[in-house]
Structures are given as C-alpha cells and as structure tokens.
Amino acid sequence: MLGVHMAICDPSLNSNKLCEDKHRVGVRSLSVQNLVISNPTDTLYYEVLTPEWESHQTTVRRLDRLAQRYDTVGSIRNQSGKPVAVSMYNGEFINEESWLRKIRGLGQESRWEFDDGEGNYFSWTVAGSNLELRSIDEDGVQSPNPIATFYPHKRYVIVRMISQHAFLEIESSVVDSLDTVLVSLLVLEQKRRK
C-alpha cells in the first residue's frame, strides 16, 4: 500500500491563521486510491484503501478515536480503474452517475451534484485547473463563492518534478459533510484521470 499523508488544519490550534476561516488538506501523492488523511492532532483521521487483491473496490474509513475503531464512511466500486458505484456508511451501492450527477451547462461548462444524506446539496465545478465546491440552496441555485477548492499537483515542465502538491481548502461549514465531500472528490478525480 502506498502511504500518503494529507494534513487537515485543526481550528483548535490558535497558532495557524489558516484555521480561522478555512481548513487545508494537503495531498502528497498522485494516487487517489491509497491515502491517509488527518489533521495535526489526528482528531480527524481517514484512510483511503484499495488493496491489490481487491482492486475493484476503494474503501474510505474514518477513525473513531473514542471507540478506538475505524468506521467505513464510503466505498467506491471500480471497473477498469473507473468508478461505477458508490456506497455511503455501508448502505446499498448506487450507480456512480446517479450519486454524482453530471449537469451539463452552457458551452463546455459542466458540474457534478451530490447530497450528503443530511439535506445539504453541493456541486463541483471546474475552475481552470482547480475544482470548486459550492453549496446549492432549496431553489437549486449555487452559492456565489466556493466553500471548498481542490488544487491539483503542479509540475515543473522540463524536469517533471512536483512544484506544488495537491491540496483541498475547505471552509469550516463543510467539516460536518467532510465524509461525503471526500468520497465525491475521490470519485470525481478517478473519473477525470481515466
């Protein structure tokens, strides 16, 4: 398994000004199928696993520190490296295209909508090389400003080395829906890479 550490900023640490309004999740690998996601104190700790012997399924687990166990928050079934079905919290698998719905916009613009199961609706849109997450209100209107932005890896062109590791910057309002946001981002990134 490839070990990757993503840091989530902890707002309880006053020394980091980024934590006041936004959290930053850093990605230290190009893989979206085998990651560890955590904040500096490990109060938020996720594992994204795709074992070699079960390469058709990616599992996202969150550590419950109080119970000292992992809870499965999402599973992604893959076929030929492409996501085909999603399950949240050990529920039934849903067709990936029904769970993360692609909405075609004007021209080349598209967005991918999903809900967190708690009545909150979101959409991912492409903004240059980044992905932006916006909330959707009861009338189906997107928020004017993104509530999360995923910045992919940047490379030096000539030497192909990474000049900036990928990271996800989220507002505090997204933390309650972080399980679903992370699973949707993993599905979308897998789709975009295939």
Q: Which residues contact 21 (CB under 8 A, 6 or more apart)?
A: 171, 172
Structure tokens at 71: 């809870």
Higher pLDDT, 119 or 158: 119
pLDDT higher than threshold 50 for residue 60: yes
User: Percentage of the chain surpassing pLDDT 70?
Assistant: 73
Helix/strand/coil for 189: helix
Confidence at 192, pLDDT banded by 50, 70, 90: confident
pLDDT tens, position by position, 82-94:
889 999 999 999 9
Find, among 80, 23, 92, 78, the residue nearest to 48 by Cα. 78
pLDDT at 26: 52
pLDDT at 15: 40
pLDDT higher than threshold 60 for residue 46: yes
Distances (CA, A) of 137 to 32, 33, 101, 119: 29, 31, 16, 10
pLDDT tens, position by position, 19-29:
445 666 555 55
Q: How far apart are CA 24 and CA 120, in angstroms?
A: 21
pLDDT at 100: 94
Q: How far apart are CA 51 and CA 137, in angstroms?
A: 38
pLDDT at 23: 63
What's the average model confidence in pLDDT over 96-123?
87
pLDDT tens, position by position, 137-155:
888 888 999 999 988 777 6
Q: What mean pLDDT is reported for the chain?
A: 79
pLDDT at 13: 40
Q: How far apart are CA 158 and CA 186, in angstroms?
A: 28
